[in-house]
Structure 1
Amino acid sequence: MARIVGIDYGTKRSGIAVTDELQLIASGLTTVETPKLLDFLVNYCSTENVEVIVVGEPKRHNNEASESESAILAFLLRLEKAMPEMPIKRVDERFTSKIAFQTMIDSGLKKKQRQNKSLIDEISATLILQSYLQTK
């Protein structure tokens, strides 16, 4: 089997998570500055066996797309051009940042560590990917 990559897309930086090759566990991989995200993914997918890329779909409480969706759609067009053979799936990412922050509290991270926005993005990507695995 191949890995699955999960992305919590942000305007400044994006969290990235991956599964193991058996697609059982989602784990945080890294956080990448968003302008470098496409290059990172192309490079990662050329060195690792990746089956699909899962990208969070931010929605409002009323189920409408959030304001960041237009930036994500523009990125997805560039991603599809760079890797036309790679399937891309979307997953509702409502509340992942809040859940990620609560996860940091529950795991005993100190306040200074919880202020690390890159870690929140990475945990959010892991939650997005885990959600995809549960529905798969």
Structure 2
Amino acid sequence: MGRLLAIDFGQKRTGIAVTDEFQIIASGLTTVNTSELMSFLKEYFQQEKVERVIIGEPKRLNNEPSEITPILNEFIAAFEKAFPTMPVERIDERFTSKMAFQTMIDSGLKKKQRQNKALIDEIAATIILQDYMGRNAI
């Protein structure tokens, strides 16, 4: 069994979360500059066995695609070309950044720490992964 990897895609930064090999625990992995995302994933896939990639799909409240959707679609097309055997699933990511920020407050992080947008992206990716795991629990 391989890891699940979740991506909270952004124009500047992308949060990444992974599970353990048994797909029991979701943990934040890192945040990378989106311009370096493909090279990061290539290196990560060489080091770790990843079974599936889950990508957060941003939508508006009315279920319409958000303004970043065309950029995300370009990334997914490039990803599928670079990693043709890797399954990709999209999952609704509405409110994950707000949930991540609330998680930081609930965890007792100080205001200065909560301003770390990279940490928010990493936590948002973890929330996406936890949501996916919860929906697909056997």
TMscore range, shorter length:
over 0.9
Distance in structure 1 (CA, Å) of the matches to 2:39 and 2:133:
25
Match of 1:32 in 2: 32
If the length of structure 2 is used for normalisation, what is the TM-score? 0.97
Match of 1:59 in 2: 59
Match of 1:4 in 2: 4
Segments ≥4 residues shifted beyond 4 Å: none
Distance in structure 2 (CA, Å) of the matches to 1:130 and 1:14:
17
Distance in structure 2 (CA, Å) of the matches to 1:97 and 1:41:
22
Q: Deviations over 1:50-90 (max 9, x none)?
A: 00000000010001111111110000011011100000000
Distance in structure 1 (CA, Å) of the matches to 2:69 and 2:126:
19
**Corresponding pairs, count:** 136
Distance in structure 2 (CA, Å) of the matches to 1:47 and 1:96:
28
Q: Deviations over 1:83-102 (max 9, x none)?
A: 00000000100000000000
- Specify the SS of the correspondent of 1:52: strand
Match of 2:121 in 1: 121
Unaligned runs of 5+ in 2: none
Unaligned runs of 5+ in 1: none
- Specify the SS of the correspondent of 2:29: strand
If the length of structure 1 is used for normalisation, what is the TM-score? 0.99
- How many Å apart are 1:107 and its aligned residue? 0.2
Match of 1:76 in 2: 76
- Specify the SS of the correspondent of 1:63: coil
2:114 equivalent to 1:111: no
- Specify the SS of the correspondent of 2:32: strand
- Specify the SS of the correspondent of 1:86: coil
- Specify the SS of the correspondent of 1:37: helix
Q: Could you tell me the percent identity over the aligned residues?
A: 62
Letter in 1 for 2:45: C
Distance in structure 2 (CA, Å) of the matches to 1:65 and 1:46:
33
- How many Å apart are 1:42 and its aligned residue? 1.1
- How many Å apart are 1:43 and its aligned residue? 1.0
